């Protein structure tokens, strides 16, 4: 008999409610842009994803992947306030960075 392990992540809304690790359904409530950046960067690092995950954090979001924690991301062309910035290192040694502005 074969045994399967499933991991399911469902993103609802703008990262306000997240259910992860099916079938255990962990509940995570993310309220600040910084928390959302941390979650997204950790998710990107864990799954080796180098593009946006879910909806935009804040009014503008930049993501980047590189060899250093402060790797480049997209930045807004208008004057905005930085509301979140987080880098996470993946098992592959790469750094995944997410920043948000409002």
More confident residue, 88 or 21: 88
Residue in 81, 87, 26, 35 with CA at minimum distance from that of residue 59 = 81
Residue in 46, 4, 5 with CA at minimum distance from that of residue 24 = 5
* Residue-level pLDDT at 27: 54
Q: pLDDT digit string (tens) for 10-51? A: 333 344 433 344 344 455 678 899 999 999 999 999 999 999
Distance CA 5, CA 22 (A): 9
* Residue-level pLDDT at 13: 38
In terms of C-beta density within 10 A (0-12 exposed, 13-18 middle, 19 or more buried), how is residue 31 classed? exposed
Domain boundaries, the chain: 33-101
Q: pLDDT digit string (tens) for 49-74? A: 999 988 899 999 999 999 999 999 99
pLDDT reading at 102 higher than 60: yes
Which residues, at least 6 apart from 78, have a Cβ–Cβ distance to it below 8 Å?
A: none
Question: What letter does residue 17 receive in the DSSP assignment?
Answer: E
């Amino acid at each position: 008999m074969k045994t399967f392990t499933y991991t399911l992540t469902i993103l609802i809304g703008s990262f306000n409610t997240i259910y992860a690790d099916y079938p255990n359904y962990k509940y995570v409530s993310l309220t600040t842009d910084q928390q959302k950046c941390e979650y997204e960067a950790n998710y990107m690092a864990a799954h080796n994803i180098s593009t946006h995950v879910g909806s935009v954090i804040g009014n503008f979001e930049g993501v980047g992947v590189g060899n250093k924690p402060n790797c480049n991301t997209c930045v807004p062309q208008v004057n905005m306030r930085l509301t979140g910035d987080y880098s996470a290192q993946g098992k592959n040694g790469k750094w995944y960075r997410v920043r948000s502005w409002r």
